[in-house]
Amino acid sequence: MLTSDRSVTQDIIDVDVPKRGMPVTIITGFLGSGKTTLLNYILQNQQDLKVAVLVNEFGDINIDSQLLVAVDENMMELSNGCICCTINDGLVDAVYNVLERGDRIDYMIVETTGVADPLPIALTFLGTELQHLTRLDSILTVVDSEAFTSEHFKSDAAYAQIMYGDIIILNKTDLVAEAKLQELEDFINKTKTKARILRSHLGVVPLPLILDVQLDQSAIAPKQKVEEQDHHANAQHDRSDSHSHEHCHDPECQHEHHNHEHHHHSDHLENDGFISISFQSDRAFNLDKFQNFLDKKLPIDVFRAKGILRFDSIDNRYVFQLSGKRYELKTDDRGKSVNNQLVIIGRNLNREELLAELTNCLA
């Protein structure tokens, strides 16, 4: 259920008229697909468009907010955890915080986590009081052209990202042959009919093709009623279904909803088997030990890793990115925190063993 202590009628009156109907784009995509890269490209090339960004991070350390550029006072950090399970109540308040700002804001972008089902957040804009204040423009799904397979990483979330994406962006096209790209396009067309497919390298796409495209979202609306019915049926039998999301609008349902939300959050992550492991230290890594860890000790079930790292005897600080089997270090000269911060996301990982291995990499 999505609730707020506010009066809907009063909210509609209070919000500045220019902000009513603000277009909203949801950027989703599996771990390491390039969502933040796409968002950075949009922010760097938005010209006169003033954008508010809502970012959710799956993990205890918000690395993405540190990697985003050109996001200052409009940056809204939402609660940790899977966006489709825990963010909905907080999302409504975050959107109001944007709408009630005194300065001009033209557009809103919501970036989901890599293990998020985008449907519940879309329904937040379509099925709550936000439908009177904002306009869901489109759902953009970013796909790693090299890593993505027809098995969707055996992930319900990855499947949902394709199914509910209005525009599918095949990213990292420079890493695969034309035959693989054509195979991906054929697969997506069979999975999601009428999806708009764009190709991209480093998140570069013509912005008029992805922003303010005014796609019809009416097809999603029936999903809301179905999911409400699913939830009530599941509650009656005291069970939770991994594809069911509650969207009850009766205030009397509030307590029951929070119990369900907490249970469902656990089920959702357990179904896909994902875990996020965060590591922080005020000590620097030894470069050789860290290299050996990446090459020989990193579990094959790690899908994504990212962080801000420093190494002994090296003055520079580095942005670390790992996606699949590929990783890179780039110099970061912004002069922020000198502590090592690293987030590792994967399936069925042993937290204690990984933390011990990382500790052994310290100088």
Residue-range domain boundaries for the chain: 8-209, 276-360
**The pLDDT value given to residue 246:** 34
Within 8 A by CB and 6+ apart from 147, the residues are 32, 323, 324
Q: Which residues of the chain have pLDDT under 50?
A: 1-13, 70-89, 224-266
**The pLDDT value given to residue 235:** 33
**The pLDDT value given to residue 361:** 95
Same fold, 8-209 and 276-360: no
**The pLDDT value given to residue 261:** 33
CATH architecture of 276-360: 2-Layer Sandwich (3.30)
CATH tag, 8-209: 3.40.50.300
